[in-house]
């Protein structure tokens, strides 16, 4: 556990942008696969550091986004790395189920082909209608 003064010291060192946000990349802690890129404000980073569960900031809903709260597809944050500019972070996570709202393991699942199409290169593992059937 981390105490409040130490937590605030960590947060104070982070360079949130003009909108109060940093980029956050979630990476599978075991396979290295990059699962998603999202955003965090100070409150999201604080809660992630203190709870050990990935919490982002939803720019569309203007609220904290506790990953998996409605879908069940949570991310346990095992470790964290800040970058040299202190404005981006990598979370090494244990992903329950899938990270992507399309039901794919990773959001980064489309590759370019020479005909000009972005082609899905990962299977849908969970029917997305079951992920968000009960809430938004």
Is 72 or 101 the residue whose CB approaches a copy of itself more closely?
101
Is 53 or 102 the residue whose CB approaches a copy of itself more closely?
102
Region of residue 64 (phi > 0: left; psi between -120 and 50: alpha; otherwise: beta): beta
> Nearest approach, Cβ of 74 to a copy of itself (angstroms)?
18
Q: Which chain residues interact with a copy of itself by CB under 8 A? A: 1-3, 5-10, 13, 23, 25, 27, 31-34, 36-37, 49, 79-86, 88-90, 100-102, 104, 106-112, 114-118, 121
Vertex 83, ends 55 and 26: CA angle to 5°? Answer: 35
Integer Cα distance of 38 and 87 in angstroms: 13
């Amino acid at each position: 556990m981390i105490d409040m003064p130490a937590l605030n010291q960590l947060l104070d060192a982070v360079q949130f942008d003009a909108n109060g946000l940093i980029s956050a990349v979630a990476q599978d802690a075991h396979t290295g696969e990059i699962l998603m890129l999202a955003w965090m404000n100070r409150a999201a980073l604080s809660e992630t550091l203190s709870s050990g569960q990935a919490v982002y900031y939803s720019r569309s809903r203007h609220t904290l986004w506790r990953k998996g709260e409605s879908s069940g597809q949570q991310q346990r944050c095992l470790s964290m790395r800040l970058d040299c500019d202190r404005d981006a972070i990598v979370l090494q996570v244990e992903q329950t189920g899938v990270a992507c709202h399309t039901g794919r393991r990773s959001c980064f699942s489309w590759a370019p082909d020479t005909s000009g199409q972005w082609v899905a290169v990962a299977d849908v593992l969970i029917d997305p209608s079951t992920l968000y059937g009960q809430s938004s």
